[in-house]
Structure 1
Amino acid sequence: METCITKLRGKLPQQEALSICHQINILPLARFGSRRLHLPCIVFSVRRLGIHELRRGDEKLYHARVSALGRVEFTTADDLPVNEPHKFVFVHPWIRHIRGPSSGITITWGGGSESDTDLEADLDDDAEWDEVLPLHAVPVPQVDDYTRALQMVARLGQPFNALLLVQQVNGEYRRVAAEHEIVVSGLRTNVTSKNILATVLEIL
């Protein structure tokens, strides 16, 4: 992580790093409304889509050329229209991870609300504690805005589980190829404000 931040500091200007950080920080909370999931995410458009080979049963191995991510392969039994790649997007939905452990982001589901931290605490309550908690908390070192932005960009560079969505006639999206995890390599240090599209998509 530190090595990646050092490389980014040498190639990503401060203003551009802060711009990327701002795009991600202003994303609203995920929510359900009008029978749709309004999902904040980072979007990567598919430029080309093709079938690499047939697998067992009805499954096919697809390969996609994706903006900023390069070549992505995935397996699915879905019949995807390879002649319409512009309708497909891969998305990075793990915004809380990108923002980092101190983001304090709350996700709202339906009428109630519960923070990610609260959800993790509930899971921890059900687990057995195998470690001794320290008596004194270690103070978190203070970092400047530029370093904090580079930390966020470095998390974008890490591999992540992507969702594949296809755009519908009315502009909403539907998830496809959901049988298996689609792991992509991330952006590594190839991150600029031009290849980061942070937005909210409506998913049926």
Structure 2
Amino acid sequence: MRDARQKLQWASKRVTTVQEDTAYSLFGIFDVHLPVIYGERKQSALGRLLQDIVSRSGDITSLDWVGQSSEFNTSKLYNMLENMNTPLFANCRLRLPCIAFHVTEVKRRPAHAAHSIYEVKADGLQDLLITTDKTLIQFSRARPTRQTFFLVRPWDRRLLGLPDFSEQLTFAEEGESVGLSSSNLPGEEELSVDSDVHSRSLRLMVHLGQAFSALLVAQQRVGEYKRVALDHNIIAQMKHPASIDIMNIRTLDIL
């Protein structure tokens, strides 16, 4: 596992007939034993490889081995999330910035209790079981429903290593001039700033891979969603780093 980041750079220039072989051809180099699943796409194959490398080496810098155009570019993801708005409650609606995972299957388990247990699948997340006294529409990829469901992760700016908006607002006194001192001229600390953002981006990747409390919401009309009441908290987790490629970063109006 030594020099994992340098070895992974080879994949960025490698051309293979089958896209998954970009990752599979590196299995031997890292002495990993993972299943070969042709048809899973390059992003998924690389994601499984990255997950194994990080778990065995503990080196998160291997997540930043690619160039600007890659789906695994952590700085681009960091910037998108940094520009998210804060939650706002007005007119009986909650405008919630979040990461949304599209639900692709809901299947009810046979049960004799008053509450129902459903098996839920969503793009990018591990499969979940949820319990509710609400009746959910059963559907699958083969038989989709007209209604849209999302499992959402409410966004928290603290995951970026930054304070909340309320903690970083500063105001100049009336008549006070605001300018640059000699210690913070443009370009003076460029390298240290870039290094700091780079470090935060890598820590963000680690945070996103951890389990989180999710909300199940159902679309009511365009842009408006309603939370589905459940008996227990939903604890969700991403499948692997490749799930970042399908994350839907948005703001939902929840009724």
TM over 0.5: yes
Matched, 1:98 2:159: yes
| Equivalent runs, 1:1-204 vs 2, <5 Å | 3=58, 5-10=60-65, 13=67, 16-54=73-111, 56=113, 58-83=114-139, 84=145, 87-100=148-161, 103-106=162-165, 143-192=195-244, 194-204=245-255
Distance 1:146 1:191, change over 3 A: farther
Amino acid at match of 2:130: F
Give the aligned CA root-mean-square deviation in angstroms: 2.7
- Relative to total residues, which structure has the larger helix share, 1 or 2? 2
* Whole-angstrom distance in 2 between the partners of 1:71 and 1:86: 20
User: 1:36-89: CA deviations, max 9, x gaps?
Assistant: 000010000001111123253x21111112001131221111101114275110
CA distance in 2, matches of 1:153, 1:196: 13
Contact 1:29 1:40 in 2 (8 A): yes
**Larger CA Rg, structure 1 vs 2:** 2
Displacement of 1:8 in angstroms is: 2.3
Tell me the distance in 2 between the aligned counterparts of 1:19 and 1:4.
20
Partners of 1:177 and 1:159 lie apart in 2 by 20
Q: Give the distance between the partners of 1:86 and 1:69, measured in 2 at CA.
A: 20
**Distance of 1:65 and 1:180 partners within structure 2:** 17
Unaligned stretches of 5+ residues in structure 2: 1-53, 140-144, 168-191
Alpha-carbon contact 2:216-2:227 (below 8 Å) kept? yes
Structure 1: gaps of 5 or more residues: 107-113, 116-140
> 2: CA distance between counterparts of 1:77 and 1:53?
14
Greater relative contact order (Cα < 8 A, sep 6+):
1
Which structure dedicates a bigger proportion of its chain to strand? 1
- 1:177 positional shift: 3.3
Q: CA deviation at 1:3?
A: 2.2
Deviation, 1:22, is 1.3
The sequence identity of aligned pairs, in percent, is 28
SS of 1:178's equivalent in the other structure is coil
1:91 to 1:199, Cα distance in 2 relative to 1, 3 A = same
* Number of residue equivalences: 168
